[in-house]
Amino acid sequence: MKYMLLLIAIVNLPAHAAPTDIVSQKSWIHGSENCRSNEDPAIDVLQVDSDTFVLRQNKCINYEAPFIYLMFGEHTLFVQDTGATESSDEFPIYATIKKIAEQWQGNNGVDNLHILVTHSHSHLDHRAGDDQFRNQPNVSLIEANQDAVIDYFGFTQWPNGQAVIDLGNRQLTVMPIPGHQAESLAVYDSRTQWLLRGTHSIQEDSMYESGMNINQVFKSWLILPTSTPSRLLWVLTLR
Ligand SMILES: [Zn+2]
């Protein structure tokens, strides 16, 4: 029986699992029937590999319970989204990321780490924690609006084109995918082969916007043929 347990432990080691499997096998904090008695941490942290983390906000703090992605390169930490709660007391997203970054820097012998914060889109549950990052050392916060996104990434023919972020021996490709919101962005990481796309998907757009008004549905149909499908096909060619 001892050998059987050992075998199971080895098979389950995260180092042997694909990043996507590690995320799908994770049992996330999912709130409580009575949140007043909930004692789970405000932020659930999953380390996917030595340079990749997925964070999730406790559902008892905000029902949206958004995910936040961290990807380390040799000189830059990429952060997508800042969560659904403004208060650093209730939801210490900057302090949590800073602690992870300091541990990572210690492990990797990196003195100066730049933290780049961008957003999948600008709905409040993806940017409420922004203020915690403002005026912090070594942090660049790209504001969650279309002008700031276009300006920072240098898009000249929005929503066409793509931009590359160099984190240091790790490149991310950023692509406009307007639909869920005008400034929605997808981010492709070739290391994990993840396509971060916030709340956005073609299928969801159809459902989401059909519940809104006809102008938005029409707008979605106008934009999607030149943006999302071609973007997704392009990503498939990278794999
Ligand atoms: Zn949204």
The domain locations on the chain are 16-28+40-238
- Report the separation in Å between the CA atom of 31 and the middle of ligand 1, taken as the mean of its atom positions: 21
Superfamily of domain 16-28+40-238 in CATH is Ribonuclease Z/Hydroxyacylglutathione hydrolase-like (3.60.15.10)
**Per-residue pLDDT at 22:** 86
3-state secondary structure of 92: coil
Query: What percent of the chain shows pLDDT beyond 70?
Result: 76
Sequence letter at residue 106: G
- Report the separation in Å between the CA atom of 169 and the middle of ligand 1, taken as the mean of its atom positions: 31
**Per-residue pLDDT at 9:** 31
Q: Predicted confidence band at 212 (pLDDT cuts at 50, 70, 90)?
A: very low
Structure pTM? 0.81
**Per-residue pLDDT at 234:** 53
Mean pLDDT for the stretch of residues 113-137: 97
- Report the separation in Å between the CA atom of 105 and the middle of ligand 1, taken as the mean of its atom positions: 32
Say if residue 103's pLDDT is above 50: yes
- Report the separation in Å between the CA atom of 121 and the middle of ligand 1, taken as the mean of its atom positions: 7
Say if residue 20's pLDDT is above 70: yes
Report the helix count and the strand count for the chain, using DSSP H and E. Answer: 8, 10
Query: 174 near 150, Cβ under 8 Å?
Result: no
- Report the separation in Å between the CA atom of 220 and the middle of ligand 1, taken as the mean of its atom positions: 15
Mean pLDDT for the stretch of residues 55-70: 94
Q: Please report where in the chains the tokens 């995320």 appear, as a residue.
A: 23
